[in-house]
Structure 1
Amino acid sequence: MSDKKAQTRERILQAASSALIQRGPAEPSVGEVMGAAGLTVGGFYAHFESKDALMLEAFTKLLAKRRAAIEEVDSQLSGEERRSLVAAFYLSRKHRDSTAQACPLPATVGEMGRLPDAFRQVLSEHCELMAAQLAASPEDTDKALADMALMVGGLTLARALGPGELSDRVLRAAKSAVR
């Protein structure tokens, strides 16, 4: 693949990632994504075979970035300390209100039943890998999964409520429950 083609593909993926974070993988159109990338729809199929293929690749990359960020958390911390530190960021107003560097799960999980199975496979792999990163030991993995569910659910509800006192309370309550 030429450098120019690779750069264009990356621009499309960036635009798709932004759309996915804000509205999930099903709603944004190819035209919207290509327009956000500064390109015409006509060039789309030179880079991706379908909208689902584009959104799946964007989803996969976004989740990989989330796991890479967790890798930066001190591995000497206990599982509880690591999860608490992650929750402090994940369940923050800044993350709730972010439109660029936010987690794609709140906008995506509700659509899983309508998406190709490959999305569910990517999500399953992500959950397994993330739980292992957040657990102090294999025995701690179920607690990490429970805390992940609490964090994603808390962020999803807080985003649905929008900025405000109740949304802030949801973030605080979920954060305090992560252990």
Structure 2
Amino acid sequence: MRYRPEHKAEVHQKIIKDASRRVRAEGLGGAAVAAVMRDTGLTHGGFYKHFENKDELVLESLRDAFAEIADTLTHAAEQARAGSGWKAIVKTYLSLEYCDHAERGCPLPALAPEMARVDPQMRGPIFVELVKYRDRMLPFMPGRRASERERAFFVIFSTMIGAVEVARMLPDRAVQEKVLATAREFLLSSF
């Protein structure tokens, strides 16, 4: 059977999307080749028509995860009043909806400890993705100078990442919301 010329690219993107959601929901090990390929309707052997190895799949899935959350946060910021884009980012990031769905959110609360322990060869490409993520958020951060916006980015995102990590550990929804609301109120009143 002959496939359309764009078929391979479409399948490749479907594999990436599935792996991206899996790693955020299950950790870096969640991108098990057999499971990802099965969910895509392909065999394990078909994997090597798309990727050199599992590390390549993981890196592409992280790239997709960072791009997806950056798109979501950028969209929220662009819908906000001028100068308050960062507030929209905070409100979007520190929501129960976002907290409940690690598979659709920022990879940092889900994977930061694992990413810190990856093979040294993967750290460089992951760092590149972190820089791209930061660069997409910087225009919306509070501050007049680039150095102020970068400082705000690190403070705001470190706080949000930690708050989401803690909230996701808690079994009680009311306590989760309290953690998120406290971080949200603190950030919104601090800049």
TM-score by length of 1: 0.86
Decide whether the 8 Å contact of 1:83 with 1:178 is kept in 2: no
My pick for the range that moved more, 162-171 or 30-39, is 162-171
Check if 1:77 corresponds to 2:82.
yes
> Which one of 113, 121, 126 corresponds to residue 119 of structure 1?
126
Larger RCO: 1 or 2 (CA < 8 Å, sep 6+): 1
> Which one of 155, 160, 163 corresponds to residue 164 of structure 2?
155
Check if 1:169 corresponds to 2:178.
yes
Q: CA deviation at 1:144?
A: 2.4
Q: Work out the CA distance in 2 between the residues paired with 1:114 and 1:99.
A: 20
- What is the RMSD of the two structures over their aligned residues, measured on CA atoms? 2.2
Q: Work out the CA distance in 2 between the residues paired with 1:76 and 1:19.
A: 35
Decide whether the 8 Å contact of 2:95 with 2:180 is kept in 1: yes
List gaps (5 residues or longer) in structure 1.
none
Decide whether the 8 Å contact of 2:86 with 2:140 is kept in 1: no
Q: Work out the CA distance in 1 between the residues paired with 2:5 and 2:130.
A: 31
Give the corresponding residue for 1:21: 24
My pick for the range that moved more, 2-11 or 19-28, is 19-28
Matches within 5 A, 1:5-154: 5-72=8-75, 73-74=77-78, 77-78=82-83, 81-115=84-118, 116-117=122-123, 118-137=125-144, 138=146, 139-154=148-163
TM-score by length of 2: 0.82
My pick for the range that moved more, 68-77 or 7-16, is 68-77
Decide whether the 8 Å contact of 1:17 with 1:62 is kept in 2: yes
- The total of aligned residue pairs comes to 177
Quick check: which has more Rg, 1 or 2?
Answer: 2
List gaps (5 residues or longer) in structure 2.
none
Percent identity at matched positions?
27
Q: Work out the CA distance in 1 between the residues paired with 2:158 and 2:102.
A: 21
